[in-house]
Amino acid sequence: MNFARILSLLFITVLGYICGAHSQGQHSVIPQPVSIRSAPGNLKISDISEIIIPAKQTEFRFVAQQFIDELGLTKCKIKESKKPAQGKHRSIVIIPLQGDRKTDYYSINVSKSGILITAVDDAGAFYALQTLLQLKESGQIPFYVIEDYARFQYRGMHLDVSRHFFPVTFIKTYIDLLARYKFNYFHWHLTDDQGWRIEIRKFPDLTEIGSRRKETLVGAYGSSPEQYDHTEYGGYYTQDEIREVVEYAQSKHVEIIPEIEMPGHSAALLASYPQFGCGDGPYQVATTWGVTNNVICPTDTSLWFMKEILSEVCDLFPGKYVHIGGDEVNKDDWKKSTECTKIMRRQNLKTYEDVQSYFIRQIDAYLSSKGKILIGWDEILEGGLSQNAVVMSWRGLDGGIQAAKQKHKVIFTPGSHCYFDHYQSLSPMEPLAIGGYTTLEKVYSFDPIPSNLPSEYHRFVLGAQGNVWTEYISTPEQVLYMSFPRAIALSEVNWSQPANKDYVQFVRRLNQHISWFDAQHLNYSGSYYDLDYKTLPSPEGVLLKLIKAPLTGKILLETSSPEEGLHQQYLSSDSLLLGSSQEFKVWYQLQDNRLSRSLPIRYTHHKLSGKKIQFVQDPSSKYSSGGPIAVINGIDAPSNKFSGPEWLGFDAGRNMDATIDLAKTDTLHELSIQFFQEESSWIYLPQSVEIFTAGEDKNFISLTKSLVGIRPGRGIIHKIIFPSPAVCRYLRILVNNYGQIESDKPGAGHGAWLFTGEISAH
Ligand code: ACM
């Protein structure tokens, strides 16, 4: 055992002793380290004169130079030493550790004699540098003793550059930010229906044709009438640019995973080389969102074509993983194709799911032969895979759980917590997004180990990833707005020990990071301190409970009336009783004077508001955040999006069957119900609404049934005038779901979603 090893062991023992006391101090490091303890005093960075690294280990020389450049150690020299622990006064000493520690392990001891860092390898030393950069303040680093390592080995962020293209300079900025928060994978979604963005030398038309779309949809997908911008859109990365980005990412210990989508999401590919499709064409690079029906044929020639593409991709990306998509494959063209029928006969494939599986297995075998590991979205599970293949679970947790039970490695990226293209605040000023409602707190609450995954399968979970799909994100500023600070919350999900996670603490530490983003002129979202709310039933109406970020501040309320004009006041309580129709706005004003965006509330008192409601079958847990009262709380659901606490979503073709207790016998004349429709999200208007009434005896009789019919628009209001006034105590509302989605539509074969908003009665 050499001297360095003895010293580092001694150091770790002492560290373990000190950290037994475990104090978190007032630091702002994100992700939260395993243990961190402060001591009085600071080290002046400009006093550091040398970095001592182990002899003959070039990777440490590179990271030492990063210390010099990034900490601004202008006078500092790098010195190699066989006994690096014997550093001079005021030096940084990096000691490599052997043994069975995780590769990203590091420890730091900042004291008056300098900075002692131990790390298993240069990645660990790089993470120590990221921590020091966050601790540095006004040219000084406070004395700290830190021991740290990641909870998960896979810490990923994704970016879709197909729907919108982002230049190399921005990709590097994105990678910088990932590295700052100790992410180690960048999933680069390079191809999709709306554009092919990677040069493939053997097939130049992929970029010549496939990287350009004739125009782009304006506004929300599903709006009627559709509008286009009549402007060609394009862009791609040359192979030289890709190499440059890969090398850049390597220097930051970020591995890039290229994604080449197949066999679906392939309009841009087939527009360039239609001979590899199964349909009649003509194909064009998609100009609107959603998924096209286009699909690559499972023929030998098409598989050859895909393998040739992947051959160039494998050469460009030295990492071990290649992502091949595999999601949302529309099989209609396969069903119509005689070529496909021949393959099915030859390969003894019984179903079109078997064809999908055959396709993926061919590609899997090819990638394995190139020494690569295939990653695919969770649909690739349908039909068997090589044991090596990794599953990315995006349709909730179930795909990942199933994969782990089959002993596949899994990366969790569920839409509910990890899709950063979702809305992040209820503010109507939020820019147009694809849907959903994924707050910073929700991201932070994610645990990549599902509670119902038996412990023997935990080892198959590699970690979690945040996805940034860019249908509604067209600029680098907007990518940052949607990704940060949610990615910062995810960094702690992936890195920090569950016992060290605390959202209140996290949001306080985040303040310093927000200041850093400001200083760097980097965009981010302040949505996490916008107000959220809950409604509760009350005998007098509806109780509105405002939910604020865990930061000190006051709630400001603004009302407007013809008599008093605009009137503002601070609220003394977070709750407001809504007993009569009213309109107001609320803000959260932080102690440091930051002001949230306003939350407008329009409460319309009606005969159902605040009453008790019960469902025969509850709405989906994914779309019921406002609770059952959401549909009778006097607050309309937004007509332009199906996210937030005002919509209740019933999945898989389920009806809404609700009974409302009016608390006393009342007379009703009419009723209105809000519904939402968005084909691309599998949300359809219901077929019909049937109303039943009952007196105290609960003996229900049908009052009226009305068809909803086909209507344009997203949020619609279905109004029912009763044939005669209904005198009743109980009201039963049965909304009949659209049913199974037809074969030519998104979600074909599945039961439709039914989204219900406010039900009001007068
Ligand atoms: C996906 O969001 N289609 C993976």
Q: Is the CB of 353 under 6 A from ligand 1?
A: no
Q: Which residue among the candidates 158, 187, 265, 513 is catalytic per the annotation?
A: 265
CA of 289 to the centre of ligand 1 (A): 13
| pLDDT of res. 15 | 39
Q: Is the CB of 327 under 6 A from ligand 1?
A: yes
Q: Pick from 327, 330, 380, 416 the residue to mutate for probing ligand 1's pocket: most ligand atoms within 8 Å of its CB.
A: 327
Instruction: State which ligand 1 atom lies nearest to the alpha carbon of 265.
Output: 3
Mind giving me the DSSP string for 624-679?
Answer: -TT-GGGGGSS-PPPTT-S-STT-EEE-TTPPEEEEEEEEEEEEEEEEEEEEE-BG
Residue whose Cα lies nearest atom 3 of ligand 1: it is 327
CA of 315 to the centre of ligand 1 (A): 26
CA of 290 to the centre of ligand 1 (A): 10
Residue 2 has pLDDT above 90, yes or no: no
Instruction: State which ligand 1 atom lies nearest to the alpha carbon of 469.
Output: 2
CA of 596 to the centre of ligand 1 (A): 32
| pLDDT of res. 685 | 97
The two tokens of residue 676 are 């939402």
Residue whose Cα lies nearest atom 2 of ligand 1: it is 394
d(CA 561, CA 538): 26
Q: Is the CB of 484 under 6 A from ligand 1?
A: no
By mean pLDDT, which of 219-223, 617-621, 629-633 is the weakest?
219-223
Q: Pick from 191, 329, 377 the residue to mutate for probing ligand 1's pocket: most ligand atoms within 8 Å of its CB.
A: 377
Instruction: State which ligand 1 atom lies nearest to the alpha carbon of 415.
Output: 2
Instruction: State which ligand 1 atom lies nearest to the alpha carbon of 413.
Output: 4
Instruction: State which ligand 1 atom lies nearest to the alpha carbon of 325.
Output: 4
Is the bond leading into 225 cis (omega within 30 degrees of zero)?
yes
Residue 13 has pLDDT above 60, yes or no: no
Q: How many residues does the chain have?
A: 762
| pLDDT of res. 218 | 97
The two tokens of residue 723 are 């044939």
Domain layout of the chain by residue ranges:
3-148, 154-519, 530-602, 606-762
By mean pLDDT, which of 20-29, 163-172, 218-227, 561-570 is the weakest?
20-29
| DSSP 8-state code for residue 460 | G
Percentage of residues of the chain with pLDDT beyond 90 = 87
CATH architecture of 3-148: 2-Layer Sandwich (3.30)
CA of 343 to the centre of ligand 1 (A): 27
Give 23's pLDDT tier (boundaries 50, 70, 90): very low
Q: Is the CB of 203 under 6 A from ligand 1?
A: no
Q: Is the CB of 244 under 6 A from ligand 1?
A: no
| pLDDT of res. 84 | 62
- With CA atoms as reference, report the closest residue to 606 among 580, 575, 628: 580
CATH class held by domain 606-762: mainly beta
Contact status, residue 246 vs residue 258, Cβ threshold 8 Å: no
Q: Is the CB of 377 under 6 A from ligand 1?
A: yes
| pLDDT of res. 403 | 96
d(CA 421, CA 394): 13
User: Where do we find the tokens 């994604």?
Assistant: 259
Tell me the average pLDDT of the chain: 93
Q: Pick from 378, 394, 438 the residue to mutate for probing ligand 1's pocket: most ligand atoms within 8 Å of its CB.
A: 394
CA of 281 to the centre of ligand 1 (A): 24
What mean pLDDT comes out for the span 717-739? Answer: 96
Give me the numbers of helices (H) and strands (E) for the chain, helices first please. Answer: 17, 35
| pLDDT of res. 476 | 98
| pLDDT of res. 88 | 58
| pLDDT of res. 87 | 52
CA of 327 to the centre of ligand 1 (A): 6
| pLDDT of res. 305 | 98
149-193 pLDDT, tens digit per residue, is 999 999 999 999 999 999 999 999 999 999 999 999 999 999 999
| pLDDT of res. 14 | 40
Q: How many CB atoms lie within 10 A of CB 286?
A: 24
Question: Fold identical between 3-148 and 606-762?
Answer: no
Residue 346 has pLDDT above 70, yes or no: yes
Helix axis angle, 476-483 relative to 168-180, nearest 10°?
20
What is the SS3 assignment for 371?
coil
Q: Is the CB of 394 under 6 A from ligand 1?
A: yes
Q: How many CB atoms lie within 10 A of CB 139?
A: 13
CA of 413 to the centre of ligand 1 (A): 10
Residue type, 536: L
Give 195's pLDDT tier (boundaries 50, 70, 90): very high
What mean pLDDT comes out for the span 566-575? Answer: 96
What mean pLDDT comes out for the span 305-332? Answer: 96
Q: Is the CB of 420 under 6 A from ligand 1?
A: no
Domain 530-602 grouped into CATH 2.60.40? yes
Contact status, residue 393 vs residue 412, Cβ threshold 8 Å: yes
d(CA 574, CA 544): 8
Percentage of residues of the chain with pLDDT beyond 70 = 96
CA of 629 to the centre of ligand 1 (A): 31
Instruction: State which ligand 1 atom lies nearest to the alpha carbon of 394.
Output: 4
Q: Pick from 163, 259, 328 the residue to mutate for probing ligand 1's pocket: most ligand atoms within 8 Å of its CB.
A: 328
Q: Which residue among the candidates 122, 147, 192, 471 is catalytic per the annotation?
A: 192
Q: Is the CB of 328 under 6 A from ligand 1?
A: yes
192 carries an active-site annotation: yes
| pLDDT of res. 712 | 86
Q: How many CB atoms lie within 10 A of CB 120?
A: 19
d(CA 291, CA 734): 32
| pLDDT of res. 384 | 75
242-265 pLDDT, tens digit per residue, is 999 999 999 999 999 999 999 999
- Dihedral Cα 290, 291, 292, 297, nearest 10 deg: 170
Give 558's pLDDT tier (boundaries 50, 70, 90): very high
Residue 56 has pLDDT above 80, yes or no: yes
84-126 pLDDT, tens digit per residue, is 665 557 899 999 998 788 889 999 999 999 999 999 999 999 9
CA of 32 to the centre of ligand 1 (A): 30
Residue 6 has pLDDT above 70, yes or no: no
| pLDDT of res. 85 | 62
| pLDDT of res. 9 | 39
684-717 pLDDT, tens digit per residue, is 999 999 999 999 999 999 999 999 989 888 899 9
| pLDDT of res. 18 | 37
d(CA 385, CA 447): 26
Residue 347 has pLDDT above 90, yes or no: yes
Instruction: State which ligand 1 atom lies nearest to the alpha carbon of 419.
Output: 2
328 carries an active-site annotation: yes
CA of 663 to the centre of ligand 1 (A): 45
Residue 24 has pLDDT above 60, yes or no: no
Instruction: State which ligand 1 atom lies nearest to the alpha carbon of 467.
Output: 2
Instruction: State which ligand 1 atom lies nearest to the alpha carbon of 291.
Output: 3
Contacts of 601 (CB under 8 A, 6+ apart): 533, 544, 583, 584, 585, 586, 635
Q: Which residue among the candidates 328, 382, 661, 666 is catalytic per the annotation?
A: 328
CA of 468 to the centre of ligand 1 (A): 10
Residue 22 has pLDDT above 50, yes or no: no
Give 478's pLDDT tier (boundaries 50, 70, 90): very high
Instruction: State which ligand 1 atom lies nearest to the alpha carbon of 392.
Output: 4
For the domain covering 154-519, report its CATH number.
Answer: 3.20.20.80
What mean pLDDT comes out for the span 130-155? Answer: 97
| pLDDT of res. 116 | 95
The two tokens of residue 25 are 């101090």
The two tokens of residue 9 are 């062991």
CA of 379 to the centre of ligand 1 (A): 10
| pLDDT of res. 383 | 74
